[in-house]
Amino acid sequence: MYILQETLFSFEEWLKLESKERLEIFFSSLDLRPYAKQLKSHTPQGAPGYCREAILRAFLAAPMEGITTFTMLHRRLQTDLRFRYQCGFRLDQDAPSVSTISRVFADMVEKQMAEQLFHDLVSSCQTEGLMTTQHLAIDSTAIEAYERKQPKKKSETTGNATWGAKFDTYGNKITWFGYKIHLAVDTESELPIAVEVTPAHVNDGDMGPALMNKAAEVSNTDIEFIMMDAGYDQLKNYEVAHELNAQAIIPLNLRNEKEPPTGFSSNGTPRCSMGFDMVYWGADKRYLKFRCPHAAQKVDCPHGSAWCSSSDYGMVVKVNPNDDLRRFSVPHRDTKRWKELYNKRTSIERVFARLKENLTVNQLHIRGIQKVKTQVFLNLCILLASALAMSKASVRQHCA
């Protein structure tokens, strides 16, 4: 279930633009010359090569146009003069061959150029005020591999595609052979800030610390809250968030928990001497404050509030969240504010939907994790560059 919320950038509005208009706006705000210089051929002999900046443009345009293979990209460049011109190729020259496109892509993979571009675009989006990075959502999504399937024991030793399994919303077990994209997203703009690509068998919870630390390294503001689903309910994720002075908002996974701590309910609410859950009464200087449920008129205790306290205000219990980072949360678990924050996690589901339905992240016709990473970064770069392009186009239109 998706919860609609306002965002700083609407990718849906971007998709409504015509292809020719979208590419023109997209490339007008993207300077690829510094990256193209790294790809220039230093061989003095032979025929003049193709413009490396134009090939980079073609790699970025391909996912927007639903182009999933190098052969398809060559054919589109060869037959569509407008597309070739928008990518920056000379019209009096044939389109680059499939082998040329493949060689340039291999050079990009070796130099991790797509990752460089991704980090630079994240920085630009923050500079332009397109993402706040105060509230982050972390999750993963499965992508299929275009590789020969192997037995599980053998595949886990290659470092490439492996077998993965998870349960969907309805409790059905889903298996696939491929990879996982682990992503940290700014919930306000729904733009990516940190990413990891792993074989499919890697546990989500194990990637939480790396993503949080990566996000903190590139964020230009303090991170306040990090939303993750129950698959990340591991102490190390709470600890890393705490080290970053942020609060992890994660539902408790109670499947392997026998009993809650003595004197507390499973969600960290203290219980009075009669066994009633006490009433959360806000945070007091980073302490969680709970009141007698009878004095707060939530239950009718047969002994009244005098059983625990001589005050009409009733007994008060204060809990230090640092005593158990996993159990206690500020705001308190299951409160309205906690649920509002957790609902922001749906922003990352929409990002995954755009990557798979509107771009080509789940149609990767390449082999090997390094090439897969490059294609994933290129798809993510499109989201960031599109936001920058729309922002700059809006400013130009406003000033005109």
Residue 353 CA to residue 182 CA, distance in Å, equals 14
Residue 222: helix, strand or coil by DSSP?
coil
Amino acid identity of residue 22, one-letter, is: R
Cα 82 to Cα 68, 87, 143, 393, distances in angstroms: 19, 9, 32, 21
Q: Which residues contact 34 (CB under 8 A, 6 or more apart)?
A: none
Of 134, 124, 57, the closest CA to residue 95 belongs to 57
CA triplet 217, 330, 315: central angle to 5 degrees? 160
Q: Which pLDDT value is given to residue 53?
A: 93
Residue 115 CA to residue 370 CA, distance in Å, equals 11
Cα four-point dihedral sign 335, 7, 117, 114? positive
Q: Is domain 132-253+343-369 annotated with CATH 3.30.420.10?
A: yes
Q: Which pLDDT value is given to residue 289?
A: 93
| Domain limits, the chain | 132-253+343-369, 256-332
Longest alpha-carbon distance in the chain: 96
| Parts of the chain with a pLDDT under 50 | 1-6, 46
Residue 131 CA to residue 14 CA, distance in Å, equals 17
Q: Which pLDDT value is given to residue 322?
A: 92
